[in-house]
């Protein structure tokens, strides 16, 4: 039965010396975000789910490191820029691995809401009629116009 502390221990091993750069609150937030993203609860006895909880927690920890390195972006030394870029590339790889797993193992991720699997896009909210006139502020184009 894996607990949040077990997942954090796995992630700390994978982060190696970078694990010291993340606070206790950061780890708790990363585990909570991963569990929410996947729709799974801790403690968890399913080995594959625990593995993916650890992988997604690691991803969220790398995001914390990425954000922290952003403040040092091109500051004093050029090589700090490389750290930022490397974290960004690592996030892309991790998200790609997760997307592939979602496609190939749909039965494993059946409890995850669709909007958490594929993301969402919110448009700017402008609307136009068929001849291109702006109808953004026209009452008839409101979603809750009372009709």
Q: What are the boundaries of each domain within the chain?
A: 4-108
Angstrom distance (rounded) from CA 56 to CA 38:
9
Number of C-beta neighbours around residue 52 at 10 A? 21
**Average pLDDT, integer, range 77-105:** 76
pLDDT, tens digit, 9 for 90 and up, residues 12-62: 999 999 899 999 999 999 999 999 988 888 998 889 899 999 999 999 999
**Average pLDDT, integer, range 124-138:** 73
10 versus 91: the higher-pLDDT residue is: 10
Q: Rounded mean pLDDT of the chain?
A: 79
| Long-range Cβ pairs for the range 109-118 (8 Å, 24+) | 109/38, 111/38, 111/39, 111/40, 112/37, 112/38, 112/39, 113/39, 116/37, 116/38, 116/39
The model's pTM: 0.58
């Amino acid at each position: 039965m894996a607990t949040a502390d077990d997942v954090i221990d796995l992630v700390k091993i994978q982060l190696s010396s970078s694990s010291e750069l993340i606070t206790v609150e950061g780890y708790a937030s990363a585990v909570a975000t991963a569990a929410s993203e996947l729709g799974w609860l801790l403690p968890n006895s399913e080995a594959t789910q625990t593995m993916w909880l650890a992988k997604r927690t690691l991803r969220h920890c790398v995001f914390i490191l990425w954000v922290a390195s952003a403040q040092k972006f091109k500051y004093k030394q050029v090589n700090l820029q490389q750290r930022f870029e490397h974290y960004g590339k690592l996030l892309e790889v991790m998200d790609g691995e997760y997307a592939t797993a979602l496609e190939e193992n749909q039965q494993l991720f059946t409890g995850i809401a669709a909007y958490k699997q594929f993301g969402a896009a919110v448009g700017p909210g402008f609307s136009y009629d068929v001849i291109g006139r702006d109808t953004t502020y026209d009452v008839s184009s409101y979603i809750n116009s009372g009709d």
